[in-house]
Chains A and B, each alone.
Chain A
Amino acid sequence: MNSPLLLSAALAVVATSGGLQAGPDTGFRTGNPGFRSISQLAFGPDGVLFAADTKSAAVVAIATDDTRPPADAQPIRIEGLQKQLSGLLGTAESDILVEDMAVNPASHRAYLAVSRGRGPDAMPALVRTGGGDKLELVSLDSVKFSKAEIPHPPADKVVGEGRRQSNPRLESITDLAFLRDQVLVAGLANEEFASTLHAIPFPFRPAADGTGVEIYHGAHGRFETRAPIRTFVPITVGNEPQIIAAYTCTPLVQLPVAGLKPGAQVRGRTVAELGNRNRPLDIISYEKDGKTWLLLANSSRGVMKVSTEGLPQAEAITQPVPDGGTKGLSFENVAGWNGVTQLDRLDKTTALVLRKPEGGLDRLESLALP
């Protein structure tokens, strides 16, 4: 035997081979997407994973072919996730950063975006749960993928000799989500206080309009500011696709997706005002008892349950919202959900959370939706 026999049966690495066919119709091709970084994750239908690469200013769609639950599906529970990841990726525990987590609704596996290292040369890794307490690296060497560049802001006027080398401007992708036929991407720049939201049609097509949506926030119908989105979730209100977004300045707002056109200036309708210690980190929606609820992880690492009853039916929101801060959806803190840093819906009745309770180990576990 002169050529290596690759033993795929028992690898700690799983290779994905997409159910989507590569080709001009879908824009998918097979190879290594060449992530320079990996941060926010979101799933579309049929096991398609969207992963943000902030350093490349791109969103990559990966056909994971992970479309049904594993035969020996066990409840996910991983104690000491950071330590487990350091063992899998062969580095010190302090060199592991979990950037985001998303559950594949088709297989109920959790996917983790992980940085191996903390410096600028940190290596991105995609890891998924294999049931129970198992973790496996998803090999990105040969996957079916499609990439969309996040449109850049107007060309930089680089004139300085020293600054030909590098452009310090970077737009961090703070959240992304798939909705019907588009990927919504929220970003925050490290220089100008910009409020960019990009709606990218999927399957990705080249030469999308480079203009983002400008988001404004009106407080009490009087003060209006640019309002970057921290996190958001798509929901349907009266058959109309909407997003519920949390601004970096904490209001929870409702935006009709129909209005998210390139170049548009959109003003979110404030649906709840969150206080100073409730700065939102992550948001999901779910159905229970015939109603739609939101779960919101916040900066004090607690979780709030928000009723969507009373969300106004869709209408174009172009005017400042009167009395935005005084009326709002009702919300309550979910008892016992402490130390939550990542949150996603595992199935109809269960959430998957990554949390580090006070004095305890960080763990990935499933909790019944409240």
Chain B
Amino acid sequence: MRFPRPAFPHWIPAVLAGILAASSALPTAAEDSVYPVASPAEPGRTNSISVRWKKPRDGRPVAEVNGLDPVRLATLAAQSQPPTDWRRILAVHTGPRGAVRRDLPQLAGDYSVTNGVLRFRMAFPVNHGVEYRAEFHPAEFHGGGDDTVAYDRLYLLPPASDRDRPQTALAEIHPSAAELPENLLKFYLRFSGPMGRGDAYRHIRLLDESGAPVDLPFLELDEELWDPEQTRLTLLLDPGRIKRGVLPNEQSGSALAVGRHYTLVVDADWTDASGRPLKSGFRRRFRVGPADRQSPDPEQWILRPPVGGARTPLEVSFGEPLDHALAERLLAVHDVAGKPVDGSVSLSDSDRKWTFVPTTPWKSGVYRLKVGAALEDLAGNRMDRLFDVDLAGAAAGSTSGSAKAAPGGAVRTFEVR
């Protein structure tokens, strides 16, 4: 079968191929479709060459070249010195036709020859919206001849139709109290779905009462402190500005000033894991109160014991807001034998109150509320250690708060009747 030299510019078939592939949302649209683009009709060539994409396994499609001269193919495959550069013969890349010759590297993947077919398998799965072009160069294969027209084939999974419709929202910010301490250590930003990583700090600002951004209030870490699902970002306030006696604190002072109001602003153009912007921006206004230099003290917490025989809640009032994530994770109920009691936990009253509902009804008896040592309040103070210890004050016996050695955490007991 011969293909006449095309009467239209050579890029048109590629565009058509792209349109064909784009015309269906199904990933299979572009598979197995032999699309022999026009090739030069030269004497002595069979011209049955076709480039096609094979159905992907594990999302990694295979580009195939069929109809190659088997003797020539075997010769090339057997060459080891100098090595056959299969990338020149079958170039697979994400640019426009011919781009690979200029400035774009070719796709990472493996070449193989089986049963007279040259194949390329991508190292990574395909992404929606990216054009993958398999470009066969006959002159490179034959070691000469006209290479102005190549055989090529696009693989394109079109972008999702609702690509730009926002789906993810910033669901909540902790701490949520109206007043936060001057030495506040962190915020948690929880989203309704997974977010994209890499430019978080560009989308978060802290504004003062005049609406002017506070200069460098946050610890900006390239790693960005996300949870594994990337639905929660931990935003640390710059510890250098909180810690007394450190240069940034002495130069610029705390990012937050007592008695002032601030607004934490999150921009709507922050994109989620699939590249969509947020449904809306987010603003949280708060007032700044005095620095908290007291350790959390479980002895002062108020426990409201539940009633036996039912799944009534155990309520614990801290008397102050505690770190949301740590309070959620580090408090646990154990029975008298030391066995953890299964149940669900919730925090309320701006993280001042912890509520536990057991999976099965309470039995009468003594229980223990165990508190992990790593529990922090909003300023990073732990039970056993303040965030920044004033050693001079400690030596003088005037350590504020009731910090005491509790390396293994604390225990409160309560009785269910």
A residues at B contact (CB < 8 Å): 1-7, 9-13, 39, 54-55, 80, 83-84, 86-92, 94-95, 97, 99, 115-123, 125, 134-137, 139, 153-154, 156-163, 166-170, 172-174, 188-194, 217-226, 228, 230, 248-251, 273-277, 279, 281, 299, 320, 325, 341
Contact = CB atoms under 8 A, between A and B. Distances in A.
Interface residues of B, number: 102
A13 B389 contact: no
Contacts of A248: 219, 221, 236, 239-240
Nearest to B76: A7
Contacts of B323: 191-192
Contacts of B83: 9-10
A233 B241 CA distance: 24
Contact of A90 (B124, B222, B344): B124
A135 to B, nearest CB: 6
A159 B333 contact: yes
Contact of A320 (B239, B333, B376, B391): B391
B245 A223 contact: yes
B246 A250 contact: yes
Contacts of A80: 103
Interface string B315-327: 0000000010110
Given A10-B111, A91-B124, A160-B345, A190 B225 contact: yes
Contacts of B374: 153-154, 191-192, 194
B71 to A, nearest CB: 13
Contacts of B103: 80
B361 interface: no
Interface string B273-305: 111000000000000000000000000000000
B107 A12 contact: yes
Contacts of B105: 12, 84, 87-88, 134-135
A171 to B, nearest CB: 9
B114 interface: yes
A7 B84 contact: yes
Interface in B82-120: 83-87, 93-95, 103-115, 119
Interface of B: 77, 79-80, 83-87, 93-95, 103-115, 119, 122-124, 126-127, 129-130, 132, 185-186, 194-198, 216, 219-223, 225-230, 232, 234, 236, 238-241, 243-248, 250-252, 271-275, 323, 325-326, 328-333, 340-345, 356, 359, 370, 372, 374, 376, 380, 385, 387-392
A219 to B, nearest CB: 3
Contacts of B345: 159-160, 163
Contacts of B244: 219, 222-223
A166 B195 CA distance: 17
A169 B252 CA distance: 31
Contacts of B245: 219-220, 222-223, 325
A170 B228 contact: yes
Contact of B372 (A84, A116, A157): A157
Contacts of B221: 172, 174, 188, 230, 248
7 contacts: A5-B112, A91-B127, A119-B195, A159-B341, A225-B243, A250-B247, A279-B219
A90 B247 contact: no
A160 B228 contact: no
B113 A5 contact: yes
A119 B108 contact: no
Contacts of A154: 372, 374
A281 B252 contact: no
Given A5-B77, A89-B124, A90-B126, A225 B387 contact: yes
A299 B122 contact: no
B225 A188 contact: yes
Contact of B251 (A94, A219, A276): A276
